[in-house]
Structure 1
């Protein structure tokens, strides 16, 4: 897929994306020099600009979607969760990582805006997309919390955890809440996807996306069952979460990346 057409199909949206990416990049570079209030302000401004980018993409005609827009929405959802939680838990410190994530996600969506959909194959498609992206966002938030949990555990072992650090059990509880919510939405995504696949093809269509999504669903289900029945926690639980998130990433994002970037098929 040529890069220049991807940048020139909507110049105002491209400019807005560039400004949003620069805002995130500025935060990643300058946050050690900024006060707490200034950091929150820059992050909130970048978040709003990112939202405007997503809204402009939704309003575009014909609609576009692909692996990079999916990642962009997922990153925005993770940042939304962080902005809310950082109000309740000021000890959460992941701004540099999330700012870099936001920069990369916005730039990817700018260069790879996805395929055009002049007509949707099913009226269920928008619901399927919405549920799928929401499950991506919740499970990505769980991954971020698991990473924070690992970092907090390492600090405790090294004796460098401060008195103001967020409790490890709180991070663990938040992680599994996001896993559970993501599992519920992923289940709904698969059900809706199977429903409109039956309507269109009169059968369940198995492909790479479906196979990896089902593997992710099974992994998350086993993780939640192991947590409930066997009390899984720590490294075992985190590795299961990373595995399930990896399967989910390979589902839609991975398959679309191969089609759009490797095979240059955007239809």
Structure 2
């Protein structure tokens, strides 16, 4: 859905975005955050132009595991950009920049398969819900990782997380989990009950690897939210369950598509 064939403009935007992400990642740990913030904004803008070119560049859009990761990385960058306005003391996470660079370059190598012209017009909405949930859970994972690091620094008396209170970071983390869970629920409902309309009769409701991992991740996130609301799960226990659910979700689409596209060399 993202990259067209490797045209000169595609290569130029991809390499420029990856370079800007790399510069931001290498400067993420510095005290002076001006250069990392400028470069991450530049990278995010170039990345957005790359996605827009893939959608409206005149060729049939492509989709696969790498383009899905690319959109997810861009959405994570968007959330971070908004957060950075609200919390200017927040540093540029090197994971964000490094992941963005990797996703852009990976899509050059594995651009995906052309979408069929006969697919439902509602399919992009279904995919948008799914990828948005991917992005929100990815943001939650990054926040949980930063929260864990901050807590470790406090325990070792080496400083906290750059002025952002741990409770604020924790609330942000689980707000993303809550919204991501809602979007994932909507994605699963649409896929299970309208799969034949979205993908055709050959793709009606069936329990394949993608469905199984998706449901397992949904159940895991549901357990996490119930455990937090009813039993007050916090700290490492909650973070571990979040990691497990996110890993299952990653296997659901990206993992399944990686096996089909790269290992089995099968099309959509």
Give the TM-score of the pair, scaled to structure 1: 0.92
CA-CA distance at 1:29 after TM superposition:
2.8
1:22–1:103: 8 Å Cα contact kept in structure 2? yes
SS at match of 1:123: coil
CA distance in 1, matches of 2:54, 2:14: 10
Question: For structure 1, which segment, 172-181 or 74-83, has the greater mean C-alpha deviation from structure 2 after superposition?
Answer: 74-83
Show structure 1 runs of 5+ residues with no match: 1-5
Aligned CA-pair RMSD: 2.0
Q: Which residue among 89, 94, 97 is the counterpart of 2:95?
A: 97
CA-CA distance at 1:205 after TM superposition:
1.8
1:124–1:196: 8 Å Cα contact kept in structure 2? no
CA distance in 1, matches of 2:263, 2:187: 26
Say if 1:34 and 1:112 are closer, same or farther in 2 by CA, change over 3 A.
Answer: farther
Show structure 2 runs of 5+ residues with no match: none
Specify the alignment match of 2:184 in structure 1: 186
Specify the alignment match of 1:3 in structure 2: none
CA-CA distance at 1:34 after TM superposition:
8.4
1:20–1:50: 8 Å Cα contact kept in structure 2? yes
SS at match of 1:62: coil
Specify the alignment match of 2:219 in structure 1: 218
1:72–1:109: 8 Å Cα contact kept in structure 2? yes
Please give the residue correspondences for 1:48-63 in structure 2 after superposition, counting only pairs within 5 Å.
48-60=45-57, 61-63=59-61
Q: CA deviation digits over 1:107-158, x for unaligned, max 9?
A: 0111111111132432321111100000000010110110011011101100
Specify the alignment match of 2:36 in structure 1: 39
Specify the alignment match of 1:158 in structure 2: 156
- Aligned pairs, number: 262
Residue 249 of structure 2 is aligned to residue 252 of structure 1: no
CA-CA distance at 1:87 after TM superposition:
1.9
CA distance in 1, matches of 2:88, 2:147: 15
SS at match of 1:71: helix
CA distance in 2, matches of 1:88, 1:221: 29
CA distance in 2, matches of 1:120, 1:178: 34
CA distance in 1, matches of 2:118, 2:139: 30
Whichever structure has more helix as a proportion of its residues is 1
1:220–1:244: 8 Å Cα contact kept in structure 2? yes
CA distance in 1, matches of 2:74, 2:183: 17
Q: CA deviation digits over 1:59-80, x for unaligned, max 9?
A: 2421200000110111111111
2:224–2:238: 8 Å Cα contact kept in structure 1? yes
Please give the residue correspondences for 1:61-140 in structure 2 after superposition, counting only pairs within 5 Å.
61-140=59-138
CA distance in 2, matches of 1:118, 1:7: 14
